[in-house]
Amino acid sequence: RSTMGLTSRDGIVPLYLDRDIGGPMGRSVADAVAVLDVIAGYDAADPITAASEGDRAESYSAFLLEDGLNGARIGVVRQISDTETADAEILERFEAALEVMRRNGAVVVDPANIPEQDEIPLRQRWCPRFRTDINDYLATLGPDAPVKSLDEILEGGQYHPSIGSSLAYFQRIEGGPEENEACRAARANSERLRAGVRRVLREHELDALVHPTWSNPPRLIGDLNTPAGDNSQYLSPHTGFPAVTVPMGFVRDSLPVGLQIIGDAWSEPTLIAIAYSFEQATMHRRPPSATPPLAKGR
């Protein structure tokens, strides 16, 4: 995820538009950064990208530094990593990742906890604006769009049963994001969380914060009860700060797990240097068995 405003959201089917980001995904840090170099910057179709003017790097690829960990100060958000339901194997991979950082010259500040992470419940960080956002998006598709509103989506029944209750919940929400009380609270809580993260970064003189991207391995098909452990939704979406996930190994022999690295707004150059250095020091990625290598690596 880039800093909110660095990349355009135009054309993205929204979930929570004030949290959605158009960020790159790739098989390597270098691949993702190559995409970021193309998509970052101002887009008249998304006015929020005006914020990037003056803060967009000329080239993010210039920060693919093998020694990016050397001298970096990295804080460990233990209140996110060490939970009662966290998977033991994932925690082992996380500790190994921290040791890799130390061996490569990083100063690991452990812990670097954020009081607001405990004080603000996750449900109070989200503005339930999906109905407004999806209706606005569908309106951009023109008169030939197969559906034109959330109401029509529900009436048509062409959605996966697992999301039916969520769609019905959003349909019941009254008022737009400016009038809804939960949305006003979410905006206030975002300000609190931003201030809290910045305070921890400043007090410990940190370049980045880290935690496992997920605290639990993927659920088996049909399992809706075991802990999900999605940590990626805690900080970055609600602060608008950038985050990058890189592989930190495997659990159960074949299930990949990730390390999430978060920084202050517009700190993409620093995060890229840290992520690339960690990736090059570990080379955890395994090509998926279902997809053969590309010709000439392309």
Domain ranges for the chain, please list them. Answer: 29-125+206-287
Residues listed for the chain: 298
DSSP 149: S
Sites in the chain below the pLDDT cut of 50: none
CATH number for the domain whose boundaries are 29-125+206-287: 3.90.1300.10
Question: How do beta strands 255-262 and 208-212 pair?
Answer: antiparallel
Terminal Cα distance for the chain, rounded: 24
The full DSSP string for 50-114 is GGGTTTS-S-GGGG--TTTTTT-EEEE-HHHHS-TT--HHHHHHHHHHHHHHHHTT-EEES----
Residue 298: what pLDDT?
Answer: 64
Residue 297: what pLDDT?
Answer: 64
DSSP 178: T
Residue identified by tokens 């080239």 is: 59
Residue 256: what pLDDT?
Answer: 94
Maximum Cα interatomic distance, the chain, rounded to a whole number of Å: 59
- The whole model's pTM is what? 0.95
Quickly list H helices, 104-207.
Answer: 115-119, 130-139, 150-156, 164-172, 181-203
Task: Yes or no: say if 272 and 208 are a contact pair by the CB < 8 Å rule.
Answer: no
pLDDT tens figures, 223-278? 878 888 899 999 999 999 999 999 999 999 889 999 999 999 999 999 999 999 99
- In terms of Cβ atoms closer than 10 Å to its own Cβ (0-12, 13-18, 19+), residue 177 is buried
Residue 228: what pLDDT?
Answer: 84
For residue 121, report the phi and psi dihedrals to the nearest 5 degrees. -60, 145
